């Protein structure tokens, strides 16, 4: 069911001007009913896309001028040429011709570029080989460095073990020395005590101790010894002033603490001296290692420079050979002579071309050919007349023979044709040609199939090459990915092997960043703690010194008791804590540094895993997809080629039968005229009145004329052939010369490139020589500095060892004295702890009581004086016995201590023997140090060599990144592909040119026929027989009532050209007259409107727009009404079209009312100005 169109008419009145838009759109498409509305967006897009055509169809011209179709012919020609040129095909032929010439020149340029790219490609391969060799050497050196690093770590472990052994030996020797000193002291004391014994008592120690507790003299003796020992120690070590003897217990304890504090400070000084010595040795050894590293790097760089120089010399030699070869080849070409010959040959070709084009031989020959045909026909007629007279009898026999022969040929032809009829129909897609056309059709079909087969064969070969190339790329990508995976595994194993010894546990490599962060946090925490403790140490150290010297509080001057002083020193002494923190900080820093050294390897591992391998896998996937696509293309081409080959074989089989059929057809065609001639001769009656002699004379004259024409034609053909051959030879010689010139230019370019490369190689060699010289000069001071640092390290080590031994000896002596003092102090404490003082006091009290009793018994003194003397003598013997007991006890303790120290010394010496001798361990340490130094030297040499290899690789890679080497394989392949495709395209352009030429001629004819058909239809629908006048050549006005139709006449301006002249003509009763200047204004407007409608309908496919600006200008009332009626009829006739829109701008209200009807639109717009001269648009309804 068709739907009614929707009309919209819009009028705009500007200063009483109406603007009307009639938009006619269908709600359904032509393919069937639909409820969808048309796409207005599509309409707007189509409007924009056809704006150029609309502007051509509706040019902006003043109202006084007629529409372009009725203007002068030049304007009309220009407009129609613009319309047809909008199809972009008319200029395509010139573009194709020009493109063909340009591509011929481009092919030569492409060949030169291809040779240049081949040279660059060879250079790239050489650079890549150098990179591969350097990379291989670098990888080998890296593997060697890994082995060296492992050996260095093993040697360092050995060195650490020997250093630990040396430290243990030193510690044991110090203990042995301390024990031996103490033993010698006790042994001396034992000897003295043994010598002082008046009698060696055999009683037990318990009995002797019981005797000892009853005597006071031993305490005084021990106090005296303590006081003398303290005074001696204080005087010897300058520990400050001491009070007068005898010392009290508190004073003695305080002085003992002071000596112990002094001993602790001596130990701290000894440790600081040891650390300072180790720091100096490590600093000096670090300087030596740095200088040694620099020495090895410079040595490695020198060796690498030598190898690079050898490589440069080798490349220079190769480049010199290449230059000499190019120079030798260039000497064979004389460029100036070639250019001169090129100019001469170009002039010669132009002259021969002009000479060949000046005279049109084909035209002259074609003009003489009809004359020859006429003479041949006349000769044939004369012969027939002559033969009719003499050979009438023989003709009947010939006729019978010819008919029999003709019948046999037809039977053979029919038999062969019927046998292969089905095959012909199969090959020709159901068509069955005539016998005479079979060969042409089959040959043409075979040509098409053969061309398609050759094309598919070449494409399949190219596709096969592409598939093999893709497979090679995939293999390379897979090997590259495998190499990356191996590198990733190697780095993972390397990191695992490094992380496990550091962390002491098996960890996952992915937790390395967390472990590194934790180590860094721990290091920072230890650093802060150490700095805090160090600051506290610096703050408390002055207070501690004052408290030690003055034995009182530094802040409130309160005197310390011994216990309080011990507590204060214990709280303020931070030296040991600081040493512990320093060790912990050193361990944390060492742990962090060892982890941080693996950061570069881990970053490479992460980059390799996340970027390089992912990119390689992506490239591999892309290459696999590309290879699959190319393999599918190749498979499709192979299947298509097999199908085409089958078709080709099927057509090729028919070639021999077709030749037979064609031969029979030719025989039939030859026999049929002969039979007809014979029949004609035999049926004719009367051969004229000419005699045989007259016929012979006429025949001779005609024959001479024919021979003359044939000789002239042959001469013309010979002349044309000679000129063509000369031109062809000249062109071939010119082409050969141009190729020789291109080869010479390529050789010259190669020679110049070799010269430039030699200059660069020479500069590179000089630079290498200079670098090697500088490196050798820099190696001499490094060697001297290395030797001097080594000697300085040895001297400093010996001096520091001597100073350390002196301080250790001093510390041991002080320790022995402190130990002796401690022994005495211990004995005194034991005495005090046994409460012997209370017993002594008790005895003193008892003694006092005895004295009082003695005084009371003084009276009895006299009586018992003898008895008292005996008691005094007994008391003196008891004192002697007490002293003897004390001496025996002291002797026994000293002897036990000597035995204990001897046993300890024996155990320590056994430990020393189990560790080994110091000289052996020192020799091992020295040997390991030398081995480490040798390995480090070799490692640094390898590192320096690798740096040179890496610099060469970077240099070559940087050179490969130059613009001239970028994507060289792809550029070479693309250039080769471009050359081949351009050559193929150039051949195709020749065929396209001829095909497009014919197609354009046909296109123009079809479009003009379509335009005239639409114009005739519209004219017959709208025109209603108006009068018009025109002038004939005799200037007489002729009045015609009716114009049958109008049309646009297009005439070719020249034979074989595509340039046309256009004019609008009208037809009446079979007569055709030009319409311009012979019609009224209304007929002009109507004709212009119809022509524009036809053009819009022909060229505007989706959205044709017709704009009328003041269409009633120069029209009277009746003509305006007639125009309105014509517009209404046009709208009525075009209401079913989608590509029709009408825009009307007018100030004629009557005209607007005539076309603005309710069934066409609902409203229009009026544009006017108000009192302020402002434009105002009003929408107004349309009423019937």
Instruction: List alpha helices for 332-437, DSSP H.
Output: 335-358, 361-390, 392-419, 421-427
In this predicted structure, what is the pLDDT of residue 87? 58
Is the pLDDT assigned to residue 142 strictly greater than 50? yes
Mean residue pLDDT across the chain: 72
Is the pLDDT assigned to residue 789 strictly greater than 80? no
In this predicted structure, what is the pLDDT of residue 621? 87
Average pLDDT score over residue span 341-346: 78
In this predicted structure, what is the pLDDT of residue 1158? 63
* Cβ-defined contacts of 792-798 (< 8 Å, 24+): 792/284, 793/281, 793/284, 793/285, 793/288, 796/280, 796/281, 796/284, 797/281
Give pLDDT tens digits for 602-618: 888 888 888 888 888 88
1040: confidence class by pLDDT, cuts 50, 70, 90: very low
165: confidence class by pLDDT, cuts 50, 70, 90: confident
Is the pLDDT assigned to residue 976 strictly greater than 80? yes
Distance CA(695)–CA(688), nearest Å, equals 11
The dihedral formed by the CA atoms of 940, 941, 945 and 950, expressed in degrees to the nearest 10 = 0
* Cβ-defined contacts of 718-722 (< 8 Å, 24+): 719/361, 720/356, 720/361, 720/362
DSSP strand pairing (1105-1109 vs 1141-1146): parallel
Of the ranges 687-696, 1156-1165, 1170-1179, which is most confident? 1170-1179
In this predicted structure, what is the pLDDT of residue 6? 36
1057: confidence class by pLDDT, cuts 50, 70, 90: low
In this predicted structure, what is the pLDDT of residue 1103? 61
1104: confidence class by pLDDT, cuts 50, 70, 90: low
Give pLDDT tens digits for 391-407: 554 666 677 777 788 88
1099: confidence class by pLDDT, cuts 50, 70, 90: confident
Distance CA(544)–CA(674), nearest Å, equals 151
In DSSP notation, 112-138 reads: HHHHHHHHHHHHHHHHHHHHHHHHHHH
Range of lowest pLDDT (314-318, 335-339, 726-730) = 335-339
Which token pair is 1003?
């296109």
Is the pLDDT assigned to residue 591 strictly greater than 70? yes
Distance CA(1113)–CA(1109), nearest Å, equals 9
Residue % of the chain over a pLDDT of 70? 69
750 Rama sector, left if φ>0, alpha if ψ -120 to 50, beta otherwise: alpha
Phi, psi of 543 (to 5 degrees): -60, -40
Give pLDDT tens digits for 1079-1093: 777 777 778 878 887
Instruction: List alpha helices for 197-216, DSSP H.
Output: 205-212
| Helices 692-833 & 335-358 angle (0-180, nearest 10) | 140
Residues 703-728 as b/e (b if ≥16 CB within 10 A, e otherwise) read eebbeebeeebeebeeebeebeebbe
Distance of CA 13 to the CA centre of its chain: 65
Is the pLDDT assigned to residue 1173 strictly greater than 60? yes
In this predicted structure, what is the pLDDT of residue 1101? 62
**362 or 316: whose pLDDT is higher?**
316
Is the pLDDT assigned to residue 15 strictly greater than 60? no
Distance CA(548)–CA(563), nearest Å, equals 13
Give pLDDT tens digits for 441-488: 878 788 888 888 888 877 877 887 777 778 777 877 887 888 788 778
Average pLDDT score over residue span 263-269: 69
Distance CA(1026)–CA(1021), nearest Å, equals 14
Give pLDDT tens digits for 693-722: 677 787 788 888 878 888 887 777 777 778
242: confidence class by pLDDT, cuts 50, 70, 90: low
Is the pLDDT assigned to residue 72 strictly greater than 60? yes
Average pLDDT score over residue span 1152-1157: 76
Of the ranges 188-192, 356-360, 924-928, 1057-1061, which is most confident? 924-928
Q: Which residues contact 1135 (CB under 8 A, 6 or more apart)?
A: 5, 7, 24
Average pLDDT score over residue span 918-942: 79
Is the pLDDT assigned to residue 25 strictly greater than 50? no
Range of lowest pLDDT (13-17, 83-87, 557-561, 786-790) = 13-17
Is the pLDDT assigned to residue 150 strictly greater than 60? yes
Range of lowest pLDDT (698-702, 862-866, 1130-1134) = 862-866
Q: Give 330's Cβ-side CA count (13 Å radius).
A: 17
In this predicted structure, what is the pLDDT of residue 64? 34
Average pLDDT score over residue span 881-900: 72
Range of lowest pLDDT (52-56, 235-239, 549-553) = 52-56
In this predicted structure, what is the pLDDT of residue 1032? 40
Phi, psi of 242 (to 5 degrees): -130, 150
105: confidence class by pLDDT, cuts 50, 70, 90: confident
Question: Which residue(s) pair with 7 in the sheet?
Answer: 24
**75 or 19: whose pLDDT is higher?**
75
Is the pLDDT assigned to residue 783 strictly greater than 60? yes
**373 or 392: whose pLDDT is higher?**
373
**261 or 1: whose pLDDT is higher?**
261
Is the pLDDT assigned to residue 550 strictly greater than 70? no
In this predicted structure, what is the pLDDT of residue 256? 67
Question: Which residue(s) pair with 1072 in the sheet?
Answer: 1067
Q: 308, 945 in Cβ contact below 8 A?
A: no
Residue 1052's SS3 state is strand
Average pLDDT score over residue span 834-847: 63
Q: 978, 107 in Cβ contact below 8 A?
A: no
In this predicted structure, what is the pLDDT of residue 23? 39
Is the pLDDT assigned to residue 40 strictly greater than 50? no
Is the pLDDT assigned to residue 45 strictly greater than 60? no
236: confidence class by pLDDT, cuts 50, 70, 90: low
* Domains of the chain with bracketed CATH: 90-193+917-983 (1.10.287), 437-684 (1.10.287), 1081-1183 (3.40.50.300)
5: confidence class by pLDDT, cuts 50, 70, 90: very low
Average pLDDT score over residue span 532-544: 70
Is the pLDDT assigned to residue 270 strictly greater than 60? yes
Q: Give 260's Cβ-side CA count (13 Å radius).
A: 16
**934 or 20: whose pLDDT is higher?**
934
Give pLDDT tens digits for 1002-1024: 888 888 888 898 888 878 766 76
pTM of the model: 0.30
In this predicted structure, what is the pLDDT of residue 951? 80
In DSSP notation, 617-673 reads: HHHHHHHHHHHHHHHHHHHHHHHHHHHHHHHHHHHHHTHHHHHHHHHHHHHHHHHHH
In this predicted structure, what is the pLDDT of residue 970? 82
Task: Read off the DSSP letter of residue 1077.
Answer: T
């Amino acid at each position: 069911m068709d739907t009614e169109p929707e009309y919209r008419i819009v009028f705009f009145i500007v200063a009483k001007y109406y603007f009307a838009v009639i938009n006619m759109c269908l709600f359904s498409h032509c393919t069937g009913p639909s409820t969808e509305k048309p796409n207005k967006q599509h309409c707007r897009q189509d409007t924009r896309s056809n704006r150029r055509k609309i502007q051509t169809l509706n040019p902006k011209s003043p109202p006084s001028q007629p529409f372009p179709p009725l203007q002068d012919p030049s304007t009309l020609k220009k407009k129609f040429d613009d319309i047809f040129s909008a199809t972009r095909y008319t200029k395509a032929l010139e573009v194709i011709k020009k493109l063909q010439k340009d591509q011929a020149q481009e092919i030569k340029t492409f060949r030169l570029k291809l040779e240049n790219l081949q040279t660059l490609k060879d250079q790239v391969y050489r650079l890549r080989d150098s990179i591969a060799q350097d990379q291989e050497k670098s990888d080998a050196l890296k593997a060697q460095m890994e082995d060296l690093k492992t050996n260095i770590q093993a040697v360092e472990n050995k060195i650490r073990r020997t250093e630990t052994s040396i430290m243990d030996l030193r510690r044991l020797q110090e203990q042995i020395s301390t024990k031996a000193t103490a033993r010698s002291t006790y042994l001396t004391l034992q000897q003295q005590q043994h010598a002082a014994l008046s009698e060696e008592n055999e009683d037990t120690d318990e009995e002797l101790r019981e005797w000892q507790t009853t005597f006071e003299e031993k305490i005084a003796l021990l106090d005296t010894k303590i006081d003398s020992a303290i005074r001696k120690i204080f005087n010897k070590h300058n520990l400050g002033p001491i009070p007068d003897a005898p010392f009290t217990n508190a004073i003695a304890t305080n002085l003992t603490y002071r000596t112990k504090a002094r001993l602790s400070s001596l130990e701290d000084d000894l440790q600081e001296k040891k650390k300072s010595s180790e720091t100096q040795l490590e600093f000096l050894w670090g300087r030596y290692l740095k200088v040694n590293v620099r020495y090895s790097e410079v040595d490695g760089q020198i060796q690498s420079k030598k190898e690079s120089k050898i490589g440069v010399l080798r490349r220079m030699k190769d480049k010199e050979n290449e230059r000499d070869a190019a120079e030798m080849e260039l000497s064979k070409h004389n460029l100036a002579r070639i250019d001169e010959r090129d100019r001469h040959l170009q002039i010669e070709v132009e002259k021969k071309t002009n000479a060949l084009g000046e005279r049109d031989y084909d035209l002259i020959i074609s003009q003489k050919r009809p004359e020859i045909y006429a003479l041949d026909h006349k000769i044939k007629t004369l012969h027939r007349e002559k033969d009719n007279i003499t050979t009438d009898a023989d003709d009947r026999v010939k006729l019978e023979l010819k008919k029999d022969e003709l019948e046999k040929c037809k039977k053979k032809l029919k038999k062969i044709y019927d046998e292969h009829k089905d095959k012909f129909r199969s090959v020709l897609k159901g068509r069955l040609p005539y016998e005479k056309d079979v060969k042409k059709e089959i040959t043409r079909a075979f040509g098409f199939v053969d061309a398609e087969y050759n094309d598919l064969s070449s494409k399949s070969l190219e596709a096969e090459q592409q598939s093999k190339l893709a497979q090679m790329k995939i293999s390379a990508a897979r090997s590259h990915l495998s190499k990356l995976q191996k590198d990733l595994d190697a780095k993972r194993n390397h990191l695992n092997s490094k992380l496990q010894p550091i962390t002491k546990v098996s960890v996952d490599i992915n937790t390395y960043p967390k472990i590194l962060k934790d180590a860094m946090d721990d290091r920072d925490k230890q650093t802060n703690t150490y700095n805090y403790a160090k600051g506290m140490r610096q703050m408390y150290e002055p207070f501690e010194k004052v408290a030690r010297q003055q034995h009182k509080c530094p802040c409130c001057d309160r005197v310390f008791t011994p216990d309080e002083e011990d507590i204060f020193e214990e709280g303020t002494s931070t030296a040991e804590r600081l040493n512990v923190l320093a060790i912990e900080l050193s361990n944390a820093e060492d742990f962090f540094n060892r982890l941080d050294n693996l950061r570069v390897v881990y970053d490479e591992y992460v980059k390799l895993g996340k970027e390089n391998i992912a990119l390689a896998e992506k490239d591999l996937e892309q290459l696999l997809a590309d290879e699959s696509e190319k393999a599918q293309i190749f498979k499709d081409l192979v299947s298509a080629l097999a199908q085409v080959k089958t078709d080709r074989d099927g057509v090729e089989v028919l070639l021999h039968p077709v030749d037979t059929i064609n031969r029979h057809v030719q025989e039939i065609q030859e026999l049929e005229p002969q039979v007809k001639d014979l029949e004609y001769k035999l049926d004719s009656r009367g051969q004229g009145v000419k005699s045989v002699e007259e016929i012979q004379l006429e025949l001779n004259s005609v024959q001479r004329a024919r021979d003359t024409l044939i000789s002239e034609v042959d001469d013309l053909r010979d002349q044309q052939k000679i000129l063509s051959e000369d031109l062809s030879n000249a062109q071939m010689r010119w082409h050969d010369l141009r190729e020789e010139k291109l080869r010479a230019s390529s050789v010259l370019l190669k020679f110049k490139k070799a010269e430039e490369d030699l200059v660069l190689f020479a500069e590179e060699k000089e630079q290498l020589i200079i670098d090697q010289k500088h490196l050798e000069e820099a190696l001499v001071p490094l060697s001297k500095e290395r030797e001097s640092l080594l000697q300085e390290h040895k001297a400093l080590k010996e001096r520091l060892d001597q100073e350390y031994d002196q301080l250790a000896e001093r510390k041991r002596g002080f320790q022995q004295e402190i130990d002796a003092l401690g022994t005495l102090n211990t004995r005194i404490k034991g005495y005090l702890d046994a409460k012997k003082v209370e017993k002594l006091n008790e005895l003193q009290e008892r003694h006092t009581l005895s004295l009082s009793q003695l005084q009371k018994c003084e009276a009895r003194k006299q009586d018992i004086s003898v008895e008292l003397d005996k008691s005094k003598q007994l008391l003196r013997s008891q004192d002697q016995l007490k002293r003897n007991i004390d001496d025996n006890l002291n002797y026994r303790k000293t002897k036990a201590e000597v035995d204990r120290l001897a046993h300890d010394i024996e155990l320590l010496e056994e430990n020393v023997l189990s560790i080994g001798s110091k000289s052996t361990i020192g020799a091992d340490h020295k040997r390991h140090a030398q081995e480490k130094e040798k390995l480090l030297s070799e490692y640094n040499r390898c590192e320096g060599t690798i740096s040179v290899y890496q610099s060469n690789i970077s240099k070559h890679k940087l050179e490969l990144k130059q613009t001239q080497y970028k994507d060289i394989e792809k550029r070479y392949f693309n250039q080769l592909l471009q050359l081949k495709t351009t050559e193929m395209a150039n051949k195709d352009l020749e065929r396209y040119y001829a095909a497009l030429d014919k197609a354009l001629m046909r296109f123009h004819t079809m479009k003009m026929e379509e335009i005239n058909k639409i114009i005739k239809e519209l004219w017959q629908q709208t025109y209603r027989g108006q009068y018009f006048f025109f002038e004939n050549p005799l200037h007489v006005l002729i009045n015609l009532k009716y114009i049958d139709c109008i049309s646009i006449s297009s005439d070719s301006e020249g034979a074989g050209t595509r340039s046309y002249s256009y004019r609008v003509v009208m037809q009446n009763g079979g007569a055709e007259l030009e319409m311009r200047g012979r019609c009224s204004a209304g007929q002009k407007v109507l004709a212009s409107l119809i022509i524009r409608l036809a053009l819009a309908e022909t060229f505007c496919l989706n959205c044709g727009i017709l704009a009328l600006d003041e269409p009633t200008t120069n029209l009277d009332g009746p003509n305006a009404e007639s125009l309105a009626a014509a517009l209404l009829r046009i709208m009525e006739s075009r209401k079913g079209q989608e590509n029709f829109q009408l825009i009307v701008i007018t100030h004629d209200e009557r005209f607007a009312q005539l076309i603005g009807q309710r069934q066409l639109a609902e409203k229009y717009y009026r544009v006017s100005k108000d009192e302020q001269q402002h434009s105002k648009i009003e929408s107004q309804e349309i009423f019937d």
